[in-house]
Structure 1
């Protein structure tokens, strides 16, 4: 869209210079500069989205690793507490950690849960950025 407007204003500027001189060319020339600035801003936004899928995959991989570590901790803990917590085996490890007071108070577990939650927040923000990227691409070059 912006590139198309840039080309239209550029063409109008050239026509105005050829037809009447430089006085009439000022208005379309102003449009050329506005479109150029807008295109640069949009290009910066689109460039940031080039690696978004790889970043999301990295955070998901890290979360999977944390979940696996939590599974080990929970399963070891459940060996000692089978009579109390035996019926909770189908829950996710992150949920089970919140149910076990002894595990919840462990500093390593707290840190892993904080990292897990931080990663999930980053993933959500990047997915939102990816959605917004479609709008930037449309404004720049009618892209998807």
Structure 2
């Protein structure tokens, strides 16, 4: 399956009996769909299977960015391009997340559940970016973030 993602859809080939290459090796030509065996159909369908797997792993925002791609290889190349974080970009994201952590306060009218969800998303983002706080640091921050 990985070959379909890295090399593109499989071509179903057969030996061309009317021509040979200069080294006397048989020349390969693409099979017509009417000649496909069950095994050939499975190979030809691998690109659809790979696309389906890739689609199922994406959220709506990311799916919108790749929905025009026609092959699993195109999808993978687009995702690689979109998701490659350069060091500077990652550092900027980390700085912003640390600032959000440092400035986290419970908003007026915000329920404890809403605050917990918002604060948890900040912690998750920090962990994803490689910054982790101890449970003690997190507990102290939460206590300071709550209104008196």
Q: TM-score, normalised by structure 1?
A: 0.33
Q: TM-score, normalised by structure 2?
A: 0.33
Judging by fraction of residues, say which structure has more strand. Answer: 2
Judging by fraction of residues, say which structure has more helix. Answer: 1
Question: Which of structures 1 and 2 has the bigger CA Rg?
Answer: 1
